[in-house]
Structure formats: structure tokens, C-alpha cells
């Protein structure tokens, strides 16, 4: 009640309000002469403060303030809140006072019980033994007298709380408990009413009905209840009017009675009280939703998902055959594309070897001339004085030169031979070194050097060795042709092979030639695009297709010292690829 009043007052006030709250434990005071310390306590904590309104909440606080008003606040208006009209006659109010009072219809409590539980034969009234509770015990006795011929009414006011709990645990099935007030039991032991009520609810074997809405949710079934929230609102309205300058005597708030009956759904379910028995307009709180109400959206969603999945599965089954056919056609198309790419790559290799024919002939002719000279020298040795060691040396040189010529021819044969792509684990460093040797044959008569930097102990890659060599050969020959066309002397082509942190092998070909313009760089990998006058424009596009088929990337970047850098990557061989 006090909390509702305080919240409403602060919320509705146009100006800030300072509130001072003093709790009076008057339930333990039997003799008014013992109230002196309370008076001095209030005077001490409010000393020097000018108060605009005094608000006693409940009849005991109102009686206390009326007795000591002249000593404490003789000129301050007073607003009494929450006392019953039976306890605060209008004659006790001054012209500065207003009162927001209750008008409890006590018989309505029993009428509600008998309406919901017509089989009831016994009603136990749980009420305490403090002065205010003794007053209400008397009132309840008088107002419940008309029901004496219908039910047996017993009273707990002369029991301790422990005795009340024992009674509640053993009452017959046709009984109910009506919980009114309990701040002090018959032994004079004070209690928190909330905790006492909750303790009663734990042991009671019959329904518990109550008198105020503040008890709802703590174990009472419900019904017509004292409205503390309405008291708070009405009191806040009257308090603001007094603070605004009105005289309290001119304010006549209506008596606060019962509103619409309010019930706890959980207690209705516990005691099997049908909602159809509730009075018209009743409010049911703490209702637990049904599975459908609580999970309606999830259930609808699950059904929708189920229907969607069924339709999706049917669609997938229908599409499976179509996708299978499409996959077969795509596989055939990839095979055809691979064959076309290899055929084109083979033509490019043959074209490249043809362009290198002069250098190749020179490279093969050198070991053949050496073989001839070593053979003539051996013949002369055999015709003269026999020197076996010298002849054996000449024969070793003949063998070495023959192997040199054979290696050149074997490399050329591998380049021009048409073959199906074959993926195996390969040593990239060795492949690149062999490709560089072929390039060196072509540049021996020009002022260009090829420098290779191949990291040792490189991891293996999966790929087709011939195709990888073709990419390196194409990139290095493009660099040679660009340098020759530009007439740049003392040029260097650097071929590098390193492992990267991305679990790849990076192969780069960097030249110091004229470079490639930004306009040409945008199209340099397009088929049939060439910056050379007689170029076919297929070398770089084939190279990129080969690298991408191996899971790598081929890119172009400008060289810091002039020229450009072509780099391609190949993924390292592991169990996952």
C-alpha cells in the first residue's frame, strides 16, 4: 500500500518530492505510555525539516499521529491512507485532514468461498492477536454471524503460528482457511505476514482464501480483495491536491471497496475449482499457457517446416535424376575441355620448339662435334703407343657428350609428344631447373642472362610436370622476346621458386624489360590477345588455364627495377588434395 502510494506520488508530481519514511512497530506496544520513544525518535530524525504533508498508513499509524500531532506536527496537513471507515470517524478529522479509507464488505469474503466451494462445512479464520487484529476479530465475529447456521466457523486468534500450521495440515476435505491478518500470534510473537502466509500454504491440505490483493500469488485462491493499488492511486491524487494548496477538509475521496474479483490460476488448478464458477468479470492471474498457447508459433513453424521438407524432398528426388544427367554432361564437357586445352597446349609446345630449333640444333651439334673429336683422338692413341688410361678417359668424355645430346633430345621429345594430362607428385624445383636449361640454350648468343633461385627441400606438389614446364618456358621466352624487341642490353631474367606461408609453392619470372602498360595488363590473359606483332595470343591464356587447373593462380605485377613479374602458385601436396 505504502509502496503504491509512493510510486504514484513521485510519478504524477510535477515537482521533485522529498519523502521521509518512518516505520512504527506499534504491534508490540500494549500501553500508550510506552510510545514515548517513538515520539522522540520521529522528532529527532525530522528535526529542522519543514514538512508539507503527514501520511499515516493504516489505522494504528493514524491513531498514533492523532494522539501526538500537537507535539510533533501541529500545523502540518495530514492524509490518512488505508484505514477502514469503521476505525476513522469523520469527527476525528480536522479541517486540514483528508482520508482515503477502505470499506471492507466482510460477508463478501464468505459468500465467495461458499459460491466456489458449496460443499464447504468448516471455515477456519486465521487472524492474529495484536490490538488491531483483535479489533478485526470482533468485526469478523459480528459480520460472519449470519453464516453460523450454514458452516462451522473456528478461530485461530488464540493459537500460536505453529499450532495454526498443525491445524491447517489436518483439516477435513470440506474445509477452507480464510486468512485475514497475522502480525502477532497468541504468544505475542511478531511475524512477517508474507512469510507466515507462505508457511501456511506449504502445509495446508485445504484451499486458503485471503482479504487483500497483496496476498495474491502467495497461496490464496482469490476473490473480492482489498485493492492496495487503488488506495495508492487515490491517496496520491489527494496528496497532490493538498501539496497544491487545497485544504484537506475539502477533499472527499470515495471509499475504496472491492473491484472485480481476482483469482490465482495456479490455486484454482490445485484445488480443482472450475473457472466456470467464477463471477462474471473476474480476473485470473498467473495463468500458465497451454502447450499450444506457449509454443504456438514453434508448432506452426515445425508443421510448416515439415510440410516444406516433404515438398523439398519430393522436389529433390525429382531433381536428382536431372542433376545426375547434368553432372554426367558436365563431366563429359570437362573432359572435352581438358582435351581441347591439352591439344592447344601441345600445339603451343610444338610451336615453341619450332621457334627454338636453331638453338636446339646448336645445342645438339656441340656434343656431336665433341664426340667426333674425342673418337679421332682415341683412334690415334690406339694406333700409336697404347695408353689405356688415356683411351678410357676419352671414352668417358664421349659417353658424357652422348648423354648430354640425349638429354636435350629427351627433353624436346617430352615437350612435343602429345599426351593425356597425368597428375603425380612432382619436385617443382627439378622441373623448373630443367625448363631453365632449355631457355639457356636459346640465349647463349644474346646478351641476356637467366638467374634461378630455387629454395632447397621444397615440398612436393600434385601436377602434370610437362604442363608446369610449359608455363615456365612460356613466361621466360615471353620475357626474352620483350627484352630483344626493346633492344635492352645486359638484361637479367630471374626465376624464383619458394614455399609460402599459405602452404603453396610460388614460382616467379621477373625481367628487366620494357614492362607492360596498364591497358595491356587488363587483357594480357585474354585468349588471342598479344602485345607482339606476330604473336598468337594464346600462350598466357593457356598458361593461366594450366595453373588454375592445378588449383593455383597466375598473376602479373610491375617489377620495382623495371619490367614485370609473372608469378604463379601451386598448392602443396597433402592428404586433402
Q: State the pLDDT at residue 77.
A: 94
pLDDT single digits (tens) 484-504: 887 887 788 899 999 988 889
Q: 229 in a domain, yes or no? A: no
Task: Report if residue 387 sits inside a domain.
Answer: yes
Q: pLDDT-derived band of residue 28, with 50, 70 and 90 as boundaries?
A: low
Q: Which of 145-149, 340-344, 420-424 has the highest mean pLDDT?
A: 145-149
The whole-number average pLDDT for the span 273-299 is 88
Task: Show the domain range for 25.
Answer: 2-102
Residues 568 and 456 in one domain: yes
CATH number at residue 398: 1.10.287
Dist CA 80 CA 541 (whole Å): 97
Please, how many CA atoms are within 13 Å of residue 132, restricted to the half-sphere of its CB?
A: 21
Does the pLDDT at position 210 exceed 70? yes
Best mean pLDDT range from 51-55, 347-351, 418-422: 51-55
Comparison of pLDDT for 338 and 68, the residue scoring more? 68
| SS3 assignment, position 264 | strand
Name 295's Cβ contacts closer than 8 Å, sequence gap at least 6: none
Query: Domain boundary at 268, 288, 308, which?
Result: 288
- pLDDT tens for 116-145 read 999 999 999 999 999 899 999 999 999 999
Domain contains 27: yes
- CATH assignment at residue 461: 3.30.565.10
174: pLDDT strictly greater than 90? yes
Q: Which of 15-19, 89-93, 275-279 has the highest mean pLDDT?
A: 275-279
pLDDT of residue 445: 62
Higher-confidence position of 91 and 383: 91
> Which residues, at least 6 apart from 454, have a Cβ–Cβ distance to it below 8 Å?
429, 432, 433, 495, 496, 497
Q: Is residue 249, in this structure, part of any structural domain at all?
A: no
Residue 451 lies in a domain: yes
pLDDT higher than threshold 60 for residue 362: no
The reply to whether 194 and 266 lie within a common domain is yes
pLDDT tens sequence across 429-480: 888 888 888 777 767 667 788 888 999 888 999 888 888 888 888 888 888 8
Both 265 and 119 in a single domain? Answer: yes
Quote the CA–CA distance of 171 and 203 in Å, as a whole number: 11
CA distance 212 to 222: 9
Q: Which three cell numbers stand for residue 497?
A: 621458386
Quickly state the pLDDT bin for 165 (edges 50, 70, 90).
Answer: very high
115 vs 351 pLDDT, higher one: 115
- Cell matching residue 430: 627439378
Q: Evaluate whether residue 485 is within a structural domain.
A: yes
User: Looking at the structure, do residues 438 and 544 belong to the same domain, yes or no?
Assistant: yes
Of residues 539 and 226, more confidence is placed in 226
Based on the fold, state whether residues 380 and 443 are members of the same structural domain: no
Q: What is residue 38's predicted lDDT score, i.e. its pLDDT? A: 83
Dist CA 72 CA 477 (whole Å) = 111
Q: What CATH number does the domain containing 183 carry?
A: 3.40.50.2300
Residue bearing the bigger pLDDT, 288 or 575: 288
pLDDT range class, residue 407, cuts 50, 70, 90: low
What per-residue confidence (pLDDT) applies to 576?
A: 54
Q: Give the residue with greater pLDDT, 41 vs 177.
A: 177
Instruction: State whether 424 and 461 are in the same domain.
Output: yes
Statement: residue 335 has pLDDT above 80: no
Cα dihedral sign for 73, 77, 81, 84?
positive
What's the pLDDT score for residue 111? 97
Q: So what's the pLDDT on residue 168?
A: 96
Mean pLDDT of 50-63: 91
Lowest model confidence (mean pLDDT) among 355-359, 409-413, 436-440, 572-576? 355-359
Which pairs with CB-CB distance under 8 Å and at least 24 residues apart come from 26-35? 26/60, 26/61, 26/64, 26/131, 27/60, 27/130, 27/131, 27/132, 27/183, 27/184, 27/190, 28/184, 28/188, 28/190, 30/131, 32/67, 35/64, 35/67, 35/68
The answer to whether position 230 is within a domain reads no
pLDDT of residue 187: 93
Q: Does the pLDDT value for residue 380 go beyond 80?
A: no
Which grid cell is 206?
485445504
Q: Quick one: 136 and 173 in the same domain? A: yes
Same domain, 444 and 461: yes
For position 413, what pLDDT does the model report?
58
The Cα–Cα gap between 558 and 511 comes to 10
The arithmetic mean of pLDDT across residues 512-536, rounded, is: 78
Asked if residue 143 and residue 47 are part of one domain, the reply reads no
Is there a single domain that holds both residue 54 and residue 184? no
More reliable by pLDDT, 456 or 330:
456
pLDDT of residue 449: 85
DSSP-H helix ranges across 487-532? 518-521
| 467 secondary structure, DSSP code | H
- If we measure between CA atoms, which residue out of 187, 169, 168 comes closest to residue 178? 168
Asked whether residue 469 falls in the same domain as residue 514, the answer is yes
User: 213 falls in which pLDDT band (50, 70, 90)?
Assistant: very high
Residue 114, domain member (yes or no): yes
Give the range with max mean pLDDT: 69-73, 260-264, 343-347, 371-375. Answer: 260-264
Beta-strand runs (E) in 412-563: 424-426, 448-454, 461-463, 491-499, 504-510, 554-558
Instruction: Give the mean pLDDT of 291-301.
Output: 81
In a shared domain, residues 390 and 455? no
Q: pLDDT above 70 covers what percent of the chain?
A: 81
Total domains in the chain come to 5
Instruction: Among 370, 390, 418, give the residue marking a domain's end.
Output: 418
Identify the residue with better confidence: 378 or 366: 378
- Write down the residue that cell numbers 588454375 correspond to: 548
Amino acid at each position: 500500500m505504502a509502496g503504491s502510494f509512493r510510486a504514484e506520488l513521485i510519478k504524477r508530481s510535477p515537482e521533485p518530492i522529498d519523502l521521509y519514511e518512518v516505520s512504527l512497530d506499534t504491534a508490540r506496544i500494549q500501553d500508550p505510555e510506552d510510545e514515548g520513544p517513538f515520539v522522540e525518535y520521529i522528532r529527532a530524525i525530522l528535526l529542522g525539516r519543514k514538512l508539507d504533508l503527514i501520511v499515516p498508513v493504516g489505522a494504528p499509524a493514524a491513531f498514533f499521529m492523532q494522539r501526538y500531532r500537537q507535539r510533533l506536527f501541529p500545523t502540518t496537513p495530514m492524509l490518512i491512507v488505508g484505514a477502514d471507515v469503521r476505525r476513522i470517524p469523520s469527527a476525528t478529522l480536522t479541517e486540514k485532514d483528508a482520508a482515503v479509507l477502505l470499506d471492507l464488505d466482510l460477508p463478501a469474503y464468505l459468500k465467495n468461498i461458499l459460491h466456489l466451494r458449496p460443499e464447504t462445512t468448516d471455515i477456519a479464520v486465521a487472524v492474529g492477536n495484536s490490538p488491531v487484529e483483535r479489533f478485526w476479530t470482533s468485526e469478523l465475529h459480528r459480520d460472519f454471524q449470519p453464516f453460523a447456521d450454514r458452516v462451522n466457523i473456528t478461530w485461530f486468534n488464540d493459537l500460536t503460528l505453529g499450532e495454526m500450521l498443525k491445524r491447517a495440515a489436518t483439516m477435513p476435505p470440506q474445509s477452507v482457511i480464510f486468512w485475514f491478518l497475522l502480525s502477532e500470534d497468541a504468544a505475542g510473537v511478531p511475524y512477517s505476514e508474507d512469510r507466515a502466509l507462505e508457511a501456511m500454504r506449504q502445509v495446508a491440505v485445504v484451499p486458503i482464501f485471503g482479504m487483500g490483493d497483496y496476498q495474491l500469488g502467495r497461496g490464496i485462491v482469490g476473490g473480492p480483495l482489498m485493492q492496495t493499488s487503488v488506495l495508492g492511486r487515490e491517496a496520491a491524487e489527494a496528496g497532490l491536491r493538498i501539496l497544491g494548496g487545497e485544504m484537506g477538509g475539502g477533499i472527499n475521496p470515495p471509499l475504496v471497496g472491492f473491484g472485480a474479483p481476482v483469482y490465482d490460476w495456479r490455486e484454482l488448478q490445485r484445488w480443482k475449482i472450475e473457472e466456470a464458477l467464477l463471477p462474471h468479470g473476474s480476473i485470473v492471474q498467473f495463468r500458465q499457457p497451454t502447450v499450444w498457447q506457449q509454443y504456438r508459433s514453434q508448432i506452426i513453424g515445425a508443421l510448416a517446416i515439415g510440410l516444406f521438407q516433404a515438398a523439398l524432398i519430393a522436389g529433390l528426388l525429382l531433381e536428382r535424376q536431372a542433376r545426375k544427367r547434368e553432372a554426367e554432361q558436365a563431366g563429359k564437357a570437362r573432359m572435352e575441355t581438358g582435351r581441347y586445352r591439352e591439344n592447344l597446349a601441345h600445339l603451343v609446345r610444338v610451336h615453341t620448339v619450332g621457334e627454338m630449333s636453331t638453338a636446339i640444333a646448336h645445342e645438339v651439334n656441340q656434343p656431336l662435334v665433341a664426340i667426333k673429336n674425342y673418337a679421332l683422338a682415341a683412334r690415334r692413341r690406339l694406333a700409336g703407343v697404347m695408353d689405356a688410361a688415356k683411351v678410357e678417359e676419352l671414352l668417358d668424355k664421349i659417353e658424357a657428350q652422348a648423354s648430354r645430346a640425349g638429354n636435350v633430345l629427351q627433353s624436346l621429345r617430352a615437350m612435343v609428344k602429345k599426351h593425356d594430362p597425368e597428375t603425380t607428385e612432382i619436385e617443382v624445383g627439378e622441373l623448373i631447373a630443367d625448363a631453365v636449361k632449355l631457355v639457356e640454350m636459346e640465349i647463349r648468343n644474346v646478351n641476356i642472362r637467366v638467374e634461378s633461385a630455387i629454395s632447397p627441400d621444397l615440398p612436393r606438389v600434385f601436377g602434370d610436370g610437362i604442363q608446369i614446364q610449359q608455363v615456365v618456358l612460356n613466361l621466360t621466352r615471353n620475357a626474352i622476346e620483350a627484352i630483344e624487341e626493346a633492344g635492352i642490353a645486359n638484361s637479367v631474367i630471374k626465376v624464383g621458386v619458394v614455399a609460402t606461408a599459405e602452404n603453396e609453392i610460388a614460382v616467379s619470372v621477373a625481367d628487366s624489360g620494357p614492362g607492360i602498360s596498364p591497358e595491356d595488363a587488363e587483357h594480357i590473359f585474354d585468349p588471342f590477345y598479344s602485345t607482339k606483332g606476330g604473336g598468337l595470343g594464346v600462350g598466357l591464356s593457356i598458361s593461366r588455364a594450366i595453373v588454375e587447373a592445378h588449383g593455383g593462380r597466375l598473376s602479373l605485377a610491375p617489377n620495382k627495377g623495371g619490367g614485370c613479374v609473372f608469378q604463379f602458385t601451386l598448392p602443396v601436396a597433402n592428404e586433402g588434395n
